[in-house]
Structure 1
Amino acid sequence: MNNRFALNPVPLGQEGAVLYPQALDAAFQQDLVADLRGVLATAPLFQPVMPRTGKPLSVRMSNCGPLGWVADKAGYRYQPNHPVTDNPWPPIPEALTQLWRLVAPNAREPEACLINWYGPNAKMGLHQDRDEQTFDAPVVSVSLGDEALFRLGGVERGGKTQTIRLASGDVLVLGGKARLAYHGVTHIYPGTSTLLDAPGRINLTLRRVNP
């Protein structure tokens, strides 16, 4: 399986932020999408909302793994069950666990894999991933489908950001000092990939939640 990963790291200018362009070959991406269809058949996409305003996010999401991230009027948190079906989350596909072991060899196994579906008009404002109980492990992000314009800042809100155009098969790792870097997605480029059945992008983020 490891020969299906092309891990050629490109540092992004801050310690712990690394891009692996085209890390996943086309066949691997297709197999992974098939795995995700099975996950979503058990844990369907739902619409998270902002706790303070109750406004829905423009992405739809689901999770796999022992824990899943949810957002509703009660707050941001990880929980072991789907907020709509109340069923446990399906397991993380083994292929993603193998990828984690290669790009985060010193970290414990991931406990959550967030599945975010970006339609053509979806965005994600600048934010930190800080709902976990530990920041020792990196966040590992996988892009599938249409390209996206990704913004990466520093650990303080309002600082300078750099823009990166993420393509299907790219893997991004935020660890070390970049683990709490602000980041977001400002634009989706429909028609830049034929991987998915509909225009849009899937973003997977593997995370360790507990120490």
Structure 2
Amino acid sequence: MNGELFAPESGAPQNLAPGACLLPGFALAQACELREVVEQVFAAAPPRRWLTPGGRRMAVAMSNCGPLGWVSDEHGYRYAALDPDSGRPWPALDARLALLAGEAAATAGFAGFVPDACLVNRYQPGTALSLHQDKDERDLGQPIVSISLGLPAVFLFGGLRRADPCLRMALHDGDVVVWGGPARLRYHGVAALKPGRHPLWGEQRINLTLRKAG
């Protein structure tokens, strides 16, 4: 399937690789609740484009909720209990969102997942996320749960080396991708978001990425 772009039928779980699963429309029924969660997070901790250790601004605007939040600056990538812009704790991780993430992880074969960090990422037309690994967490035995909201995007799911071929798949509003186990350190990214307007989310894509960071 390397290089293939596909959109699975809604509701049918799709195995992407050992340890990786796409759950089409899994979060769609909670759309209104998730919109409320995102609005509350952004009101308390507005999304911002972090500075990379190399001195460049990231394309994706990010915020966090939960006991730990992912941050980046000239000192490196890490998790922090306080928002560096305000000095206050990150907004609480909504219980409904944590439950949804746990249910998605269990459906994909990872029972008992309890996240303590949620990255809330805002993509606008033209925004892309380069290939990377999620490896700043202490326990790499825990999966990643990624919830897509709003405009559709093309998700790039590669291998354990940056140069490995990537699977290209369309992610739509409410889709959830879970990866862990042998797939936990696979490279992944998002192609540049195409212009459009979603009836609930407007001209943007929101990605909720839940993790066990501490």
TM-score (norm 2): 0.89
Q: Which amino acid in structure 2 is aligned with residue 31 of structure 1?
A: E
- Aligned-residue Cα RMSD (Å) equals 1.5
**1:129 aligns to 2:131 (yes or no):** no
Distance in 1 between the 2:212 and 2:65 partners? Answer: 13
CA contact (8 A) 2:28 2:175 kept: no
Counterpart CA distance in 2 for 1:25 and 1:69 is 26
* Mapped contact 1:147–1:192 kept (Cα < 8 A): no
The residue type paired with residue 104 of structure 1 is A
Mapped pair 1:169 → 2:174: yes
Q: Deviations over 1:117-154 (max 9, x none)?
A: 01111110000000111111100000011011111001
Task: Give 2:47's match in structure 1, choosing from 45, 61, 66.
Answer: 45
Read off the aligned partner of 2:143 and give its amino acid letter. Answer: P
Aligned to 2:82: 81
Structure-2 change in CA distance of 1:107 and 1:119 (3 Å): same
Q: Secondary structure at the match of 1:134?
A: coil
- 1: CA distance between counterparts of 2:197 and 2:212? 31
Q: Please tell me whether the aligned partners of residues 159 and 166 of structure 2 are also in contact (alpha carbons under 8 angstroms).
A: yes
Q: Specify the SS of the correspondent of 2:121.
A: strand
Structure 1 residues 7 and 208, CA, compared in 2 at 3 Å: closer, same or farther? farther
- Output the amino acid matched with 1:129: D
**By how many angstroms is 1:192 displaced?**
5.6
Aligned pair 1:18/2:21, yes or no?
yes
How far the C-alpha of 1:190 sits from its partner, in A, is 2.4
Q: Which residue of 1 aligns with 2:63?
A: 62
Aligned residues of 1:50 and 1:71 also touching (Cα < 8 A): yes
Residue equivalent to 1:97:
98
Kept in 1, the 8 Å contact 2:118–2:209? The answer is yes
Show the 5 A alignment for 1:153-192.
Answer: 153-191=158-196
Q: Are 2:26 and 2:104, in contact at CA under 8 Å, matched by a contact in 1?
A: no
Q: Counterpart of 2:31 in structure 1: which amino acid? A: Q
- CA offsets, 1:55-78, max 9 Å, x none? 101111100000000011110000
2:213 corresponds to which residue? 209
Once the two structures are TM-superposed, the CA of residue 45 in structure 1 deviates from its matched residue by 1.1
Q: What is the alpha-carbon distance in structure 1 between the residues aligned to residue 73 and residue 159 of structure 2?
A: 27
* Cα distance, 1:19–1:192 mapped onto 2, change above 3 Å: farther
Following TM superposition, the consecutive aligned residue runs of length 4 or more in structure 1 with deviations greater than 3 angstroms are none
Q: What residue is the counterpart of 1:112 in the other structure?
A: 117
Match of 2:149 among 136, 144, 148: 144
Secondary structure of 1:11 counterpart: strand
Unaligned runs of 5+ in 2: 1-9
Q: In structure 1, how many angstroms separate the alpha carbons of the residues matched to 2:112 and 2:143?
A: 8
Aligned partner of residue 207 in structure 2, secondary structure: strand
Moved more, 54-63 or 100-109: 100-109
Which residue is 2:38 aligned to? 36
Percent of residue pairs identical: 42
Asked if the contact 1:67/1:89 (under 8 Å) is kept, the reply is: yes
Output the CA distance in 1 between the equivalents of 2:167 and 2:67: 33
Report what 1:195 is aligned to: 200
Unaligned runs of 5+ in 1: 1-5
Distance (whole Å) between structure 2 residues aligned to residue 149 and residue 31 of structure 1: 24
Deviation at 1:189, TM superposition (A): 2.6
AA aligned opposite 1:43: A
Structure 2 counterpart SS, 1:99: helix
Normalising by structure 1, what TM-score?
0.90
